[in-house]
Amino acid sequence: MASKVRLYVEHPLGEGQSVPLSREQAHYLFGVMRLAAGDVVSLINSVDGEWDAEVVEAGKKGGVLVCSAQTAPLQMPPDLWLLFAPIRKERTAFIVEKAVEMGAARIMPVQSAYTQSANRIRMDKLQAHAVEAAEQCGGTYVPPVDDLAKLERVLAEWPAGRHLMFCDEGMAGRSAALPSVLAAPCAILIGPEGGFSPAEREMLQTATFAHAVSLGPRILRADTAAVAALTLWQQAFGDWQ
């Protein structure tokens, strides 16, 4: 029987492995999706690839699945991080979802001088959006969504060997070609709706690991810029080639 749904679990997967379900997972599978004993679910856990698992116990408050066969190996995304300043709730959720779909390996919300929505976001909700995106897009890996951190601190503690693609709205209209130095390991930085402050811009312009790039002829909204930047990078250096 073919699998009807995909589900992320925090549990080892392997042939014959039983997987207990939480109350929320049981409600989704048996209350929302109307699955029953004997039905098959596709499971992922960011470690063991994708596995078919049969429902052997189905209840309102829990259940048990048993893995039968691996259907796909673990496919890791390129070594690419996405840093972005949170914006309005629904648009921040959009950025996280698209980052997962487009192959970011780590998602890092940062608070910049002009960030306006930092106090209205919940990291657990953003991680849940990442899980849902991976379940829906066929991914076998769910990138972590970091806790919100100040941009200044993130830049001060930047790891050696990783370059930063600084998407500079001040370069609108210039060529969107990316320098070869931005091949993985790399990170993309998207600023807030109000742009970067003069102090942040100076910090980025003087950092040896940061490279300002254009995203084309027009200034983009923050959520559009995230998608555009991920597309440019994946086309140039990622797993879309």
Q: 47-103, pLDDT tens digit by residue?
A: 999 999 999 999 999 999 999 999 999 999 999 999 999 998 899 999 999 999 999
Say which DSSP state 147 is in. P
Around Cβ 2, how many Cβ atoms within 10 Å? 7
Residues pairing with 108 in the sheet: 83
Mean pLDDT of the chain: 95
Distance (Å, whole) CA 109 – CA 151 = 9
pLDDT bracket for residue 173 (50, 70, 90) = confident
Q: How far is CA 88 from the centre of its chain?
A: 17
- Measured distance CA(114)–CA(101) in Å, rounded: 27
pLDDT one-digit tens code per residue, 16-49: 999 999 999 999 999 999 999 999 999 999 999 9
Alpha-carbon distance of 227 to 99, in angstroms, equals 7
pLDDT at 133: 98
Cβ(123)–Cβ(148) below 8 Å: yes
Say yes or no to pLDDT of 118 above 70: no
Q: With 70 as the cut, is the pLDDT of residue 109 above it?
A: yes
What residue spans define the domains of the chain? 5-72, 80-237
Q: Rounded to an integer, what distance in angstroms lies between the CA atom of residue 70 and that of residue 13? A: 9
In one-letter notation, the amino acid at residue 110 is: V
Under CATH, what is the fold of the domain 5-72? Answer: Ribosomal Protein L25; Chain P (2.40.240)
- N-terminal to C-terminal alpha carbon distance within the chain: 34
List the single range of 112-116, 119-123, 167-171 with lowest mean pLDDT.
119-123
pLDDT beyond 90 at 172: no
Residue 117 reports pLDDT greater than 80:
no
- Look-up of token digits 């209209």: 173
The CATH label, of 3.40.190.290, 3.40.50.2000, 3.40.1280.10, 3.30.420.40, for the domain at 80-237 is: 3.40.1280.10
**Residue 1 reports pLDDT greater than 70:** no
| E strand spans, the chain | 5-8, 18-21, 40-44, 50-58, 63-72, 80-84, 106-111, 149-150, 163-167, 186-190, 210-213
Checking if the pLDDT of 229 tops 90, the result is yes
